[in-house]
Amino acid sequence: MKKRHEQKLIILSIGLFIAFSIPISLLFNSEKEVFGYPMLLVYVFAVWMLSIIISFVIVKKYDE
Amino acid sequence: MSSFALFIVVLIYLALLFLVAHLAEKKKSKIWINNPYIYALSLAVYCTAWTYYGSIGVAATSGLNYLPVYIGPIVVVPAWIYINTRIVRISRVNKISSLADFISLRYGNSRSFSAIITLVCFFAIIPYIGLQIKAISETFHLVTETKISPNILTDSGTFVVVLIAVFSSYYGTRYVDASEKRLGIISAIALESFLKLFFIIILGLFVIYYAFDGFSDLYQKASQFPDFKAKNTFNGIEGAMNWMVLCMISGTAICILPRQFHTAIVENRQEKHIKTAIWFFPLYLLIFTVFIFPIAWGGRLIFNGQNVNPEFYSILIPQHFDNTLITVFVFLGGLSSSISMIIISAITLSIMLSNNLIIPYGLLGKFKAENETQNTRNITNIRKFSIFGLIIVAFAFYKYFILKTSLDSVGLISFVIIAQLAPAFFGAIFWRRGSYKGAVAGLSAGLIICYFGLIIPQYYFSYNSELKGILRDLYNAFQFFDISFLTRIPEIFFWSVLVNTALFTILSVSMKGNYRERNFAELYVDIDKYIQNHENAFIWRGTAYVSDIQNILERFLGKKKTEQAMRIFNIKYNIDSQTETADSRFIKFSENLLAGRIGTASAKILIEGVTKEDKISLKEVLNILEESKENITLNKKLTEKSEELKQLSSDLSTANENLIVKDRQKDDFLDSVAHELRTPITAIRSAGEILADDDDIPLDIKREFLNNIITESDRLSEIINDILYLDKLQHGEIALNIQENNIIETYKKALNPIFHLIQQKFIHVSEVDLLNDYLFKYDEARFIQLFQNILGNALKFTDEQGIIQTKFSQKDDNLVIKIFNTGKNIPDEDLKLIFDKFYQSKNQNIRKPTGSGLGLAISKKITEAHSGNIKAENSGLGVTFTITLPMKNIVDDNTEPEGFNFNSPG
C-alpha cells in the first residue's frame, strides 16, 4: 500500500478519536431519540459502522 | 444440569480444540498459513470473560461505560497499518518473541529492563487470568446449580482449570524458538473466537425473539425504567470525560497487552494480514457489542427486583426459561473467551519469564556447558512449567483475592498497569532520543502511583474494612490531587501516565544516551530503510572469532542448523567461509539466532562472553549510522542502475541473436537463390550445348530444345522479377494503389487466366459468399496477384478431381477469405515457414514442382501491406489458407453490385 493511502487510515484513526471525544461526543448527549432509539447510542454505532466501511474500502481499493 | 454431564461437555469441547490445533499444526497447508481471517479472529482474544459477562453487568448497572472497552480499540485499529506494520518488521528482523524483548531491545538490550517489564506484565496479568478462572468456576457452578466447594481439591472448577493448564503447556511449547509461529494454537484460538461470537449471537436472538417480542418490544419495556434515559446518556461533561479517558485506556491496551502483542505481532504470518484485521476486527467487536444492550436490559426486565448478579444475566436468562441447550452454549462461549485469554497470556508470560527472567538471571551459566539437546529440553521444560505454574498461581489469586470484586474493575486495573509501558513502547517506534534511564524512571513512577492508587484500594479492602494508620495519613496527604470529576480508574490513569511520560521525556532529553541504545533507536525508527540488510545497521567494534561464536551457537541450535545458518549468512554477505574474525554483522546475526530461544538480553550476554568489544563514542555511532544510511541509499541506486544495465545487456543479446538469425536467413536465401537460378540455367546450357555440338539433330527435336530454352529463360526472368518485386515490397518501395473495388470481381479476374489449367485437372472450384458488402478498399492488381499465387499453389498440390473452395465472410470487423484445397497436409512444423522465401519442405514429396518459390512470400507481403495477415492450417482432407483484412478498408456502401453473376465454374 502506498504511503498516501496508509495516511488515509491514520487520518481515519485521528478522526475517530475526535468523534468520540469532548466536545463532539457531548453534542449527541441528549435524551432525544433518533429513529426511536437514544441519540448517543445511534451516533456511536453509526460512526463505528462508518469507520468499518471506510477502512474496508480503503484496504480493498488500494491493496497492492 | 449435573456437574458430571457439564464436565463431559467441557472435555469434549477441549478435545475439539486439541483436534483443531493438531490438524493445523500437522497440515501446515497454505489454507491455514495464508488465511488472514485466522489472524484477524485470533486478535479477538481481546474479548475475554470480562466482555462476555462483565460488560453486560456494566451495561445493566452503570450504563454506557461498557462501550469504551471497544471504542478504544476501534479508534486505534486503522492506525495499525502504520504502527503494527512497523512493529512486525522490527520484530521479524530482530527475532523478537515478546513485549519485554521488544521494549528492552530498543533501550540498549538491557537485561534489567526486560526483567522489570516481565514483572510488570506478570503482576498486571495474573489477576486478569484469575478473573477468567473466576468466570469459569462461577459459571460452572451457576449452570450446574451447585455451590462452590470450600475445599479446592473437591471443587469441580479446579479440574477444569487443571485441564486448561495441561492443554496450554503442551501446545504452547512446541517450538524452542519462541519467535516461531504457533499455527496450531492460533487456529484453535481463532475457532474459539468464532464460537464465542456465534454463541452470543444465539443468546442475543433468544433474548430478543423468545424472551421478548422483538427488539422494539424489549426497548419499549426497558424504557419504562426510571433510570433508562440516564443510563443511555452521559452524566454531563463529567460522564463524557470519564468515558473518553476509559477509551484511551483501552486504546493503549489493545496495542500493549501482552496477549495482543503476541497474537498481533509475534504470530503475524504475513504483513498483509494486518490489512484484513483493520476492517474485520472492528466488525467483530461491533457484532459482539450490539447484543450487549438487549441482553443487559432484557436481564433487568426479567429479574426486576430480584437479587441476582447482573454479570451473569447471559447464563441466568436461558436458565430462567429452562433452556438447557442455550445455557450450555453460553457457558461454552464464556469458556472459550476465558480459555483463549488464559492460553495466550500464559504462553506469552512464560516466554517472558523464561527468556527475560529465569534464563538471563539464573541458568545462562549452566546452558553454556550443556549440549544442544539438553538445552532445548531445558528451555522447553522451563516454559512448560511456567505456563502450568502461572495458571495455578492465577487460580490461587482468584481463590484468595478476587472472590468479592467484579469482573470489570479487575480488568480495568490490569489495563491501567499495562498502560504504564505505553510511553516506552510508543517512544520506541517514534522517538530516537528516548532513553533507558527515562523509560525506567517513568515506568517506576507510574507503577508506584498505580500501586497506591488502584491496587491497595482494590485488594486491601478484601481484608480490612477501612484504612488504618500510616496508610490513612498517606492518602490524606495526597487528597490534594484528587480530580473531582474523574472516577478512580480514569483519575489514576491520568496521573500515572502523565508522570510516567513527563519523566520519560524530560530525562531522555536532559541526559546523553548510550551508544547501543541509539543504535537500536535508529534501527527501530528507520526500520523501512534497514529491513533488507538490518545486520549492517548494527554497530560493533572489537575482536571476535567466528569459531568461538560458532561454538556457542552449536550449544543451542545444534551442529547441523548452525552450519546451515552460517552458510546462508556467508552467501548473503558474500563472505569467504574461511574467514576467522567475526564482524558486526555476524555478531548481530548470531544474536538473532539465539534471541528466539533464550531472549535478546541473554543472547547479548552470551555473545559478549566470547568477544571483546571496544568502546565507541555516541558521536562515532551516529557518524557510522549516517554513513551507512547513505550507503544504503547509494546501494539502492546502484542496484537500480545495475538492474537497468542488466536489462540493456539482455536487450542487446536478444538483438544479437536476432541478427545472427537474420544473417543465417540471408545466407540461406542466397543459397536458395543460387540454387533456383542454377536449375533453369543448367537446363538452358545443356540444351544449348546439345544444339551447338550436334548439327544433325532432327528439326522437331531441335525445336523442342529451343522451346525449352525459351521456357527456362522465361522462368529465369520470372524468378528474377519476383526477387526484385519482393525486395521492393519489403522495403515499401511499391506504392499501393488503393481504391474501392469489388472483392468478388477481383477474385474472378484472378481466377480466369488459370481457369483452363484447373479444368485440365478436373478440379472442382466453388465459392461460398457470406458477405454483406462487396466493396472494399485495396490495390486490385496486388490482390489479383495474391489470389493467383494462392490458387496457383493450391492447383499444384490438388490431385485430379479434387476440390478448391473459396469462402468470403466477415468476422469482428475483418474481411476473412478462406481458400481450401484438398490434397496432402503440410507438416505442422512447416505451417509458418511456408511463407518464407524459397521455402523447401523437408518432405520432398510435396516440394513445389514449378514456380519461383516466392509466391507465398509475396502473398504474405501483400496482405501485410494492407495491414492484414495470412496463415495456413491443415483442415481435414486438405489445407486452408486464411487471409484476414481489417474492415476499416470497407466502404460504407451497401449497394449490391449490379449484374454480378456469381456461379461456380469448373
Min Cα–Cα distance to chain A from B533, Å: 22
Confidence label for B813 from pLDDT (cuts 50, 70 and 90): confident
Confidence label for A16 from pLDDT (cuts 50, 70 and 90): very high
Give B-chain residues touching A9 at CB under 8 angstroms. 78-79, 81-82, 278
Q: Is the pLDDT of residue B277 over 90?
A: yes
pLDDT the model gives residue B285: 93
Q: Which residues have C-beta within 8 Å of that of residue A42, sequence separation ≥ 6?
A: A34, A35
Give B-chain residues touching A22 at CB under 8 angstroms. 237, 240-241, 244
Confidence label for B444 from pLDDT (cuts 50, 70 and 90): very high
Q: Is the pLDDT of residue B238 over 60?
A: yes
Q: Is the pLDDT of residue B842 over 60?
A: no
User: Cα B538 vs. chain centroid, distance in angstroms?
Assistant: 28
The answer to whether B95 and B181 have CB atoms below 8 angstroms apart is no
Count CB-CB contacts under 10 A for residue B428. 23
* Cβ pair B77:A13 closer than 8 A: yes
Confidence label for B366 from pLDDT (cuts 50, 70 and 90): confident
Pairing mode, strands B542-543 and B612-613: antiparallel
Distances (CA, A) of B133 to B278, B333, B714: 30, 14, 108
Give A-chain residues touching B63 at CB under 8 angstroms. none
The answer to whether A27 and A47 have CB atoms below 8 angstroms apart is no
Grid cell, residue B295, equals 441482553
Nearest chain B alpha carbon to A10: B79
Q: Return the amino acid letter for B812.
A: D
Please calculate the CA angle B118-B122-B123 and round it to the nearest 5 degrees.
Answer: 125
pLDDT the model gives residue B198: 93
> Which 3-state string (H, E, C) describes B388-440?
HHHHHHHHHHHHHCCCCCCHHHHHHHHHHHHHCCHHHHHHHHHCCCCCHHHHH
Q: Give the integer Cα–Cα distance in Å for B386 and B603.
A: 21
Confidence label for B171 from pLDDT (cuts 50, 70 and 90): confident
The answer to whether B841 and B802 have CB atoms below 8 angstroms apart is no
Confidence label for B887 from pLDDT (cuts 50, 70 and 90): confident
Which residues of A sit within 8 Å Cβ distance of B? 1, 6, 9-10, 12-13, 16-17, 20-22, 25-26, 29-31, 36-38, 40-41, 44-45, 48-49, 51-52, 55-56, 59, 63
Selected for mutation to probe chain B from A52, A56, A64 (highest B CB count within 10 Å) is A52
Task: Give Dmax over CA atoms of chain A in angstroms.
Answer: 46
pLDDT > 90 in chain A, percent: 44
The answer to whether B736 and B775 have CB atoms below 8 angstroms apart is no
**Helices within A1-64 (DSSP H only):** 3-19, 24-27, 39-61
CA end-to-end span of chain B: 99
Give B-chain residues touching A40 at CB under 8 angstroms. 64, 232-234
Q: Is the pLDDT of residue B658 over 70?
A: yes
Lowest mean pLDDT segment, chosen from B133-142, B187-196, B432-441: B133-142
pLDDT the model gives residue A61: 87
Grid cell, residue B294, equals 438487549
Min Cα–Cα distance to chain A from B285, Å: 10
Confidence label for B848 from pLDDT (cuts 50, 70 and 90): very low
Lowest mean pLDDT segment, chosen from B168-172, B597-601, B864-868: B168-172
| Torsion (CA) B213, B217, B218, B224 in degrees, nearest 10 | -150
CATH topology of domain B735-889: Heat Shock Protein 90 (3.30.565)
Give A-chain residues touching B67 at CB under 8 angstroms. 44
The domain limits of chain B are 3-25+35-352+379-404, 534-614, 621-729, 735-889
Q: Is the pLDDT of residue B25 over 90?
A: no
Q: Which residues have C-beta within 8 Å of that of residue A58, sequence separation ≥ 6?
A: A5, A8, A9, A12
Q: The CATH number of B3-25+35-352+379-404 is which of 1.10.8, 1.10.3210, 1.20.1740, 1.20.1630?
A: 1.20.1740
pLDDT tens figures, B372-393: 788 888 888 888 888 888 888 8
Closest residue to B282, CB basis, from A10, A30, A51:
A51
Q: Is the pLDDT of residue A55 over 80?
A: yes
pLDDT the model gives residue B727: 78
Q: Identify the three-state secondary structure at position B668.
A: helix
Check if the interface score ipTM surpasses 0.90: yes
pLDDT > 70 in chain B, percent: 92
Min Cα–Cα distance to chain A from B98, Å: 25
Q: Give the integer Cα–Cα distance in Å for B248 and B579.
A: 53
Give B-chain residues touching A63 at CB under 8 angstroms. 272, 275
The answer to whether B353 and B97 have CB atoms below 8 angstroms apart is no
Confidence label for B891 from pLDDT (cuts 50, 70 and 90): very low
The answer to whether B409 and B459 have CB atoms below 8 angstroms apart is no
CA end-to-end span of chain A: 6
Min Cα–Cα distance to chain A from B263, Å: 21
Q: The CATH number of B621-729 is which of 3.40.50.620, 1.10.3720.10, 3.30.300.210, 1.10.287.130?
A: 1.10.287.130
* Cβ pair B278:A37 closer than 8 A: no
List % helix, strand, coil for chain B (3-state, nearest 5). 70, 5, 20
pLDDT the model gives residue B895: 39
pLDDT tens figures, B542-598: 888 888 888 888 888 888 888 888 888 888 888 887 888 888 888 888 888 888 788
Grid cell, residue B894, equals 451497401
Q: What are phi and psi of A32, to 5 degrees?
A: -65, 160
Q: Is the pLDDT of residue B851 over 70?
A: no
